[in-house]
Structure 1
């Protein structure tokens, strides 16, 4: 199951991340303010679940919902219980008091498992698999002359859009058109391996040599492709790349 942590206390967020990883969750990233959360949620596909602290450094988390239509299910976390009733107005599954007790978290995860069949019918959680890594796309079929060939995703340097069409570039420096949008590919590709650096390009971490002045360097010379990271995405890229 994929998840996002929105928490302004660094020790608490790191501990929660460790507990979630221990229980098989994939944590996309940790965000520490309403502003950062709004920016991230506007630019990225939403995870299955969000663990969200109510009192953040710059405002109450409810401000996030005023700026973004969140498709994820929400687990609210806070050291105060005064917002419990209000929290359940926002697509929430549960409410955990901090410091989060590991046994209570495990009980919550068990409850999520019980409702797995219900989530299966929800468009946003239909592929949910607790305690296992999500199934991401691992190959593509392409036509080479009269031959159909399977290309593994690990062979692909990047995906890019051009002239209202989408292409993928292999490590053989060959590009192939594919019948898919970058938006759809973002949902199908492993987010730990692929990152959408701009509106027009998704990059494979495997082929990144480094980043210089906001531009990705690769071992391949690809003509007419711009590997510059969008200014709004640079911070999140660096968190992903580390």
Structure 2
């Protein structure tokens, strides 16, 4: 496999390059700033993976995505975890804290190999990318054991944000997805889905009871889904439509 490293700390970059070389990666380049990364990505074929530090010499890395359509899978690296949720908005394959733990790197490579086994043709990677970026998504792909499961958006009762992770909740299972609820709000059809609180986005089709205390009940769930005070008026207007 091939990779580039976008990292402003030279010792950290050299260490990662050594680790990847030991795992049979070909590292095409090491670049140290947003500007140099944009230049390299515009002028070269994109590798299989990009290991991208979040804080670079000339600022945060996220503007790179506005200037270049990245064809690679991205693994964010950083010494801080404060940007984990924002990193998930960019459909990263993983998020590694520095100094990078070899066991976690091995786990990442195993995950990639699993994906490659399932998506053995490049067209399948394209399907995955499309499913993760199109507005008003028709379906989601989630990891289910050693396979990938496709779930129709219309069949998803709700999405849950918990412990800095977003879960797609389906058939009494919680599947982690690399998205924030904010990102989901722009991808889900507003006629069918509503964010009732910081924690939940619910599917109108599955609401079976709307209680006076602004708790919802959904099909096939014993949980209560409270509508936050700040969203009650908007929810009532949405629910009446």
Give the TM-score normalised by structure 2. Answer: 0.50
Question: Who is 2:108 aligned against?
Answer: 108
**Distance in 2 between the 1:50 and 1:124 partners?**
19
Q: Paired residue for 2:26?
A: 26
Instruction: Kindly indicate whether residue 40 of structure 2 is the aligned counterpart of residue 36 of structure 1.
Output: no
Structure of greater relative contact order (alpha carbons < 8 Å, 6+ residues apart)? 1
Aligned to 1:98: 98
Higher-helix-fraction structure: 2
Divergent runs of 4+, >3 A = 121-126
- Provide the C-alpha distance between the structure 2 equivalents of 1:26 and 1:123, rounded to a whole number of angstroms: 23
Structure 1 residues 28 and 123: CA distance shift in structure 2, 3 A: farther
Report if the CA contact (8 A) 1:5-1:17 is conserved: yes
Q: Which moved more, 1:109-118 or 1:28-37?
A: 109-118
Aligned to 2:68: 68
Would the aligned equivalents of 1:71 and 1:124 in 2 still touch at CA under 8 Å? no
Give how far 1:123 is off: 4.5
- Cα RMSD of the aligned pairs, angstroms, is 1.6
Q: Aligned partners of 1:62, 1:120: CA distance in 2, in Å?
A: 29
Secondary structure of the residue that 2:3 maps to in structure 1?
Answer: strand
Matches within 5 A, 1:208-227: none
Q: Retained in 2: the 8 A contact 1:72–1:124?
A: no
Q: Does 1:81 pair with 2:81?
A: yes
Q: Distance in 1 between matches of 2:113 and 2:8?
A: 28
Give the drift of 1:125: 6.3
In the TM superposition, residue 117 of structure 1 has moved relative to its aligned partner by 2.2
- Cα shift at 1:112: 1.3
Aligned residue pairs: how many?
A: 126
Unaligned runs of 5+ in 2: 127-241
